[in-house]
A = this chain, B = another copy of it.
Amino acid sequence: MSDSIHRYDEADRAAIYRVIRERRDVRSFVRTPVEPETLGRILESAHAAPSVGLSQPWRFLRITDPDMRVTIHALVQEERARTADALGGRSDEFLRLKVEGILDCGELIVAALLTGGTREIFGRRTLPEMDLASVACAIENLWLAARAEGLGLGWVSMFDPQALAALLRFPPDARPVAVLCLGHVQAFDPAPRLAIERWRQPRPLTDMLYENRWPEDAE
């Protein structure tokens, strides 16, 4: 065993582990605009993501029309109410959580999947959902770059995808997978918001790590 000659130096590794540790799902923003050059770097980071068969199935819609932003916010509010209903006993607790910052964030971006359908076979013949996985990798890159720039990002997935697709005039083979709220923030939380709000406590890695087979006594 030995260190790789390709290993980054200690300061660079520390920066990378820091951003992975400090990334947060953000729902509270201040309205200071995001600099266009910063936004460009963040989007290029998303675009540098891996993709199955080099298919690059991500598309990003920058929402600059204020009316469109208001309509998207309304769509999310509708689904928030439906989710609350579906949660039954935890409905009130859920409604006290802040789940999005659509009206306040500096930039609103809808991330879409242009599905590979049956055209894209490479790495997808038995796992067609790998195209969505590629878009998720792009969003994670975007998230980390945003955090390095001091910007918060929130991934909102509470919306009716068909209604949002119709609003944004998507073609049949595309679907929205994220409403991304990006922008300046007052502060970054020291822990995931849902843990701070006692919605749920994260579990340690040791619970998720097995050897060779799924253990019979796993949760």
User: Which of B136, B174, B200 sits near A140, CB closer than 8 Å?
Assistant: B136
A143-159 to B contact mask, C-beta < 8 Å, 1/0: 11101111100011111
A48, CB-defined interface residue at 8 Å? yes
Q: Is the pair B208, A60 in contact by a Cβ cutoff of 8 Å?
A: yes
Question: How far is the CB of A120 from the nearest CB of chain B, in Å?
Answer: 10
Count of identical protomers in the assembly: 2
A95, CB-defined interface residue at 8 Å? no
Contacts of A214 in B (CB 8 A): 59, 61, 112, 168-171, 174
Q: Is the pair B157, A130 in contact by a Cβ cutoff of 8 Å?
A: yes
Q: Which of A22-51 contact B (CB under 8 A)?
A: 23, 25, 32-35, 41, 43-45, 47-50
Q: Is the pair A188, B6 in contact by a Cβ cutoff of 8 Å?
A: yes
User: Which of B55, B61, B65, B126 sits near A158, CB closer than 8 Å?
Assistant: B126
Residue on B nearest A203 in the bound complex, by CB: B56
Residue on B nearest A209 in the bound complex, by CB: B60
Known contacts A23-B50, A45-B17; is-contact A6 B185 (Cβ 8 Å): yes
A207-219 to B contact mask, C-beta < 8 Å, 1/0: 0111111101010
A21, CB-defined interface residue at 8 Å? yes
C-alpha spacing A119/B161, complex, angstroms: 20
How many residues from A make CB contacts under 8 Å with B? 113
Residue on B nearest A37 in the bound complex, by CB: B1
C-alpha spacing A16/B14, complex, angstroms: 10
Q: Is the pair B2, A32 in contact by a Cβ cutoff of 8 Å?
A: yes
A117, CB-defined interface residue at 8 Å? no
Contacts of A82 in B (CB 8 A): 125
Question: How far is the CB of A46 from the nearest CB of chain B, in Å?
Answer: 8
Q: Is the pair A205, B44 in contact by a Cβ cutoff of 8 Å?
A: yes
Q: Is the pair A3, B144 in contact by a Cβ cutoff of 8 Å?
A: no
Known contacts A136-B137, A148-B8, A148-B16; is-contact A159 B126 (Cβ 8 Å): yes
Q: Is the pair B5, A212 in contact by a Cβ cutoff of 8 Å?
A: no
C-alpha spacing A1/B121, complex, angstroms: 44
Known contacts A15-B15, A125-B86, A205-B47; is-contact A52 B8 (Cβ 8 Å): no
Question: How far is the CB of A54 from the nearest CB of chain B, in Å?
Answer: 4
